[in-house]
Amino acid sequence: QAGLIHYSRGKITVVDRPGLEARVCECYAVVKKEFDRLLPYEVAL
């Protein structure tokens, strides 16, 4: 209803990631920070 995600035929598409992150609970930031710490993104050369 807020236009942040689109759902169709079992497929979920995030339309507005910053907007979605602003509306979720603080637990999202905690989980994301821990995920990034455990599995850091490394650019392949």
Q: What is the pLDDT of residues 11-35, one digit of tens each?
A: 999 999 999 989 998 888 999 899 9
- With respect to residue 45, please indicate whether it lies within any of the assigned structural domains: no
- With respect to residue 43, please indicate whether it lies within any of the assigned structural domains: no
Burial of 35 (0-12, 13-18, 19+ CB in 10 A): exposed
How many domains does one find in the chain?
A: 1
Looking at residue 1, its pLDDT comes to 82
- With respect to residue 14, please indicate whether it lies within any of the assigned structural domains: yes
- With respect to residue 30, please indicate whether it lies within any of the assigned structural domains: yes
Which residues are bridge partners to 13 per DSSP? 6
- With respect to residue 29, please indicate whether it lies within any of the assigned structural domains: yes
- Name the token pair of 14: 């995030």
pTM value > 0.75: no
- Name the token pair of 27: 């637990």
Rg of the chain's alpha carbons, rounded to an integer?
A: 14
Looking at residue 18, its pLDDT comes to 92
Cα 8 to Cα 15: distance, rounded to the nearest angstrom? 13
Residue numbers of the domain that contains 10 = 5-38
- 8 Å CB contact between 32 and 20: no
- With respect to residue 23, please indicate whether it lies within any of the assigned structural domains: yes
Looking at residue 45, its pLDDT comes to 63
Looking at residue 42, its pLDDT comes to 72
Residue 43 reports pLDDT greater than 70: no
